[in-house]
Amino acid sequence: MIGQTSILVIYTGGTIGMVQDPKTLTLRPLTFDILYKYLPVLENFNCKIDFYTFDPLLDSSNMNPSFYIHLASVIEEKYEDYDGFVVLHGSDTMAYTASALSFMLENLNKPVVFTGSQLPIGMVRTDGRENFINSIEIATAKEFDTPVVPEVAICFENKLYRGNRTSKFNAEHFGAFVSGNYPILAEVGVHIKYHNHLILKPNFKKLRALKVLDENIAILKLFPGISPNSVAAVLNTKDLKAVILETFGSGNAPTVPWFLGQLQEAVARGIIVFNVTQCKGGSVEMGKYETSAGLSKIGVIGGYDITTESAVTKLMYLLGCGYSVDSVKQLLQTSLRGEMTV
């Protein structure tokens, strides 16, 4: 059919693409030549659906920057051939991959919808069927011949989230994700209700896939009683360029001299320290309390309401671009892909 919408489904691995062997009862990867056996309703979609399968398939716990680069390269290579992309991915680190892709795919003007499931698609009560079908429909949605959702998103349990605003917070319920600081982009009921004012707008520029990521970062999660040796071990990591400091509440941390002294010494060595709250909702407000004012004075950068997942991948992306330390600090406090509220 001339003008028929076309979607590329990219299967990277994860629970959604597993079926149970009737003899051994073990899970094995689904081959897409039998996908229509489990999802015959796909025949009713007025669109062309093609498949790309990673080899080898990866559990999401094994995803890393090399995988992000591979995935971005596939989308870049196939970008002009398809109207949208659906990425089947394990849920455990989906928020990291979706965040990474949001930064790496500059000038994205087509949907890249991540989805997965808590139960394999071959099981009777699987959530995978609904998540998959919803994702296909969202990826094909257009208004005035323009994609409705031209950004990286996650579709799970009848909700569509901005990818770089999400965190996985539940390993048992079908509603596995939360977006504590940004409303959902769409909700699926009898109809799909899009919240257009919340969705990024297309700029109609040519896609650029930025495929250099710098992994020389670390996360320092604070807890009551953290020791000087623990902090020093992180801050003195070989080749370290940046640290995500997971603080309490609205960006608070101990005011003891040894702690601030170690951070100040790291900042003086050119290490970027990025203050991100441990809370799933709320924002870092540097200086609101005495316990965060000290961090601001020594050069720690406030992360507003960015998630840890997005902070990790944004730092990898910015450092990979080769920006100066001062430029990285400035861009960390700038919303590049709707990842934070400044």
Catalytic residue positions, numbered: 15
How far, in Å, CA of 85 to CA of 160, rounded? 15
Helix (H, G, I), strand (E, B) or coil at 9: strand
User: According to DSSP H, which parts of 177-253 are helical?
Assistant: 228-235
Number of residues assigned to the chain: 342
CA dihedral sign of residues 284, 286, 287, 289: positive
Say if CB 222 and CB 246 are below 8 A apart: yes
Tokens of 92: 């455990």
How far, in Å, CA of 90 to CA of 156, rounded? 12
How far, in Å, CA of 314 to CA of 96, rounded? 10
Burial readout 144-176 (b: 16 or more C-beta within 10 A, e: otherwise):
eeebbbbbbbbbbbbbbbbbbbbbbeeeeebeb
Quick one: which H or E segment has residue 321?
A: none
Say if CB 57 and CB 88 are below 8 A apart: no
Nearest of 98, 100, 92 to residue 16 by alpha carbon: 92
How far, in Å, CA of 323 to CA of 239, rounded? 16
The HSE-up count of residue 193 (CA atoms within 13 Å, CB side) is: 6
How far, in Å, CA of 315 to CA of 69, rounded? 15
The torsion defined by the Cα of 310, 311, 312 and 316, in degrees rounded to 10, comes to: 100
Helix (H, G, I), strand (E, B) or coil at 303: coil
* φ, ψ (nearest 5 deg) of residue 119: -125, 145
